[in-house]
Structure 1
Amino acid sequence: HKVVRANLEGREIAAVIGEDDEVPADPKVRFDPAGINIYADSWRVEMGA
């Protein structure tokens, strides 16, 4: 896997993609709620905390 960092509506995000996956010139994102993790100071926190 590799990590892709991006700016989405003024917020920095990081996405994990397959090692051989290509990032298109005009990428789109879709979020699977089961795969979303929230971090504060490099520690994972519960959603709504």
Structure 2
Amino acid sequence: METPSAPRIVSAERLNGGVIIAFEDGKCAVYSAALLYATFSHAEHVITEPE
């Protein structure tokens, strides 16, 4: 869900062991898989249907 004050992501690219995310304001950062997994409980979870 996006709110008006939320930063806007302009690109995200998967790297070995993480993702690099670029924001609209020009800031860019690498987020490790370990960091993302550690904050998983704060994320909006997606439930996938089995095929």
TM-score (norm 2): 0.32
Whose helix proportion is higher, 1 or 2?
Answer: 2
Of the two, which has the highest radius of gyration?
Answer: 2
